[in-house]
A and B are shown apart, each in its own frame.
Chain A
């Protein structure tokens, strides 16, 4: 296998945006190409990560995006794995470069949903569940994660206040990110007093619906070196799967796909969880970050909430989690999210993350999943 690296990254702001799906994707891709210091025509293939193109009246995104980049003859492919599409598209790009099919590949993730409103967006997202048992029986994604939260709180004694601490932390981080969707300091009281969405989760336990796009450029390390490009190495890549429904999980308080993907990525990288300097994890809801940091091996099962309470996962703590603000504050344009995590890692490991810089970071991990973790990818990166 060829060694693979990330040579460029770009992101639009996340939020309620006026641009359409194609313009967002093209803008992020242009910025990624420029940051890589390559010519657009050096891109040989593209993976597009998107779920709800149909909501903005555009599917078959690859030729449209590539044509607007002036790359009419460069093929691409759309990858859909619900909220995990971005990391899973990245994984496919990684595999293609590692296998030697291409030297330079663009991964661009994009989503445009906020114009559809809350009820429609809630419905669209519910199509990412096993619809017969879940979305089609009335449950939303907040409801699915709320069901995990109730089981977790019952088993491990975590409280609604504990969950709220995750939101408070990630909003503190997001305040330092100029591209974050919700840049607002909040308190535990604000979270507890916010309106119920799906009990025990309240509005401020939930990430927002966001529009946005992120793009990264992968290359073989040989290509990057021979062209004198700056880069960060991809040292581990893992994929996992879980039963599509919550009812089929042996343990509703854990996500098997995270564990599988993390084990593969750590094994390939030849490192352990304690070697990671910071991580971007899938905090679509406050409970998710608590479960994630346990399943990734950072904290023992049942202790994820304790880590947040003690400040271990804050910027400046021993293991900053979601220095970008995470899905909770930075926002969650679902096709873009997993790619945006890689863009954050690229900026951080090159020391370009401004006020939210994790000082001295050398090794970083990204974790992103689809639905309630039915599909997951984990990647590990190293500063050169």
Chain B
């Protein structure tokens, strides 16, 4: 079965991420990519993951694009989920000090800000 973008977003709103696991090579990837990135198979099983992981890198935006003026400054981070698959999204932190690299974050939903992440309280390292 293939995952529509609508279904992918619905799971983000439950704090979860839909992945594909390749039946041929076991590779895991986001369910927005339709062939296996490693072996190109389209025999893919849908796997649901809790949207939790660690910060790989991030920025704090001070000059926002349209629609984000009310949030600035705010963060955007690349996150390695506990499955090893990466995702990225908006995160409501005001300063680089508030988001150490490798700190734990989780997905809380999808709205007008896009994919929304949240830093786990007092969970740095």
Contacts and interface: CB of A to CB of B under 8 A. Distances in A.
B59 A139 contact: yes
B57 A143 contact: no
A138 B71 CA distance: 10
7 contacts: A122-B64, A132-B5, A138-B71, A138-B76, A138-B90, A150-B58, A196-B62
Grouping DSSP codes into helix (H, G, I), strand (E, B) and loop, the B interface class, with mixed when no group exceeds half, is strand
Pairs A-B, 9 closest by C-beta atoms: A137-B114, A146-B59, A139-B76, A247-B86, A151-B57, A123-B65, A138-B90, A143-B59, A123-B66
Given A151-B57, A154-B101, A247 B87 contact: yes
A134 B76 CA distance: 8
Contact of A198 (B37, B63, B77, B101): B63
Contacts of A126: 65
Nearest to A134: B88
A140 B62 CA distance: 10
A84 interface: no
A142 B57 CA distance: 14
B59 A248 contact: no
Interface in B42-75: 56-69, 71, 73-74
Interface of B: 5, 32, 37, 56-69, 71, 73-74, 76-79, 86-90, 96, 101, 113-116
A85 B74 CA distance: 31
Interface string A111-145: 00000001110110010000011111111101110
A138 B113 contact: yes
A246 B66 contact: no
Nearest to A199: B60
Interface string A145-189: 011101100100000000000000000000000000000000000
Contacts of A247: 56, 78-79, 86-88
A150 B61 contact: no
B66 to A, nearest CB: 4
Contact of B87 (A133, A136, A143, A200): A133
